[in-house]
Amino acid sequence: MIGLLLTSHRQCIFDGDLHQYIYQISFIYFTVIRNTVSIYQTCFPPVMMSACVKWAKEHVDDFNILLARQLSSVDTGSQTWEECMECTRQHASMLAEVGLDFKDLIGKGVEDGQLTDEQSAGLNGRERTTPTTFFNQRYPA
């Protein structure tokens, strides 16, 4: 799923319409996160769900980094900025379909300009994991 996220959002081409670009990447990110969580919920017992929630949160954080980069040249509060944030919030709301309430995390650090240089440089110093790999690392056999 991680490869799918990276490959899919990189296929979106920025052609000058920032709103359309943010629409595309937010739709991809949040659809893949929602579908992955749904599959995980179907395949694994609820006791293992914390690993999946952590995985989903990491990808929301990654999305926020990407969003911050894209909106860095747009004035906060401008019409373009507001449109981009609104479509992001709309797409993120699909996470509620699988029981994730991340609405307070969407745009975190973007809206208030609080993303650190380290965060905006990439993955916050962590490796990408799948929900199952994360669980296995946390709870070795």
* Average pLDDT value for the chain: 80
This model's pTM is above 0.85: no
Please give the average per-residue pLDDT across 62-71, as a whole number: 91
Task: Tell me which of 21-30, 75-84, 116-125 is least confident.
Answer: 116-125
Separation CA 76–CA 114 (nearest Å): 13
Q: What is the pLDDT of residue 114?
A: 59
| Signed CA dihedral, 100, 101, 107, 112: sign only | negative
Which residues, 6 or more positions from 44, have their beta carbon under 8 angstroms from its beta carbon? 52, 132
- Identify the three-state secondary structure at position 79: helix
Rg (C-alpha) for the chain, rounded Å, is 15
Going by pLDDT thresholds of 50, 70 and 90, the confidence category of residue 101 is very high
Number of other residues whose CB lies within 10 A of the CB of residue 59: 19
Domain limits of the chain? 2-138
Q: What is the pLDDT of residue 4?
A: 52
- Cβ proximity of 53 and 101 under 8 Å: no
- The tens digit of pLDDT for each residue in 35-44 reads 999 999 999 9
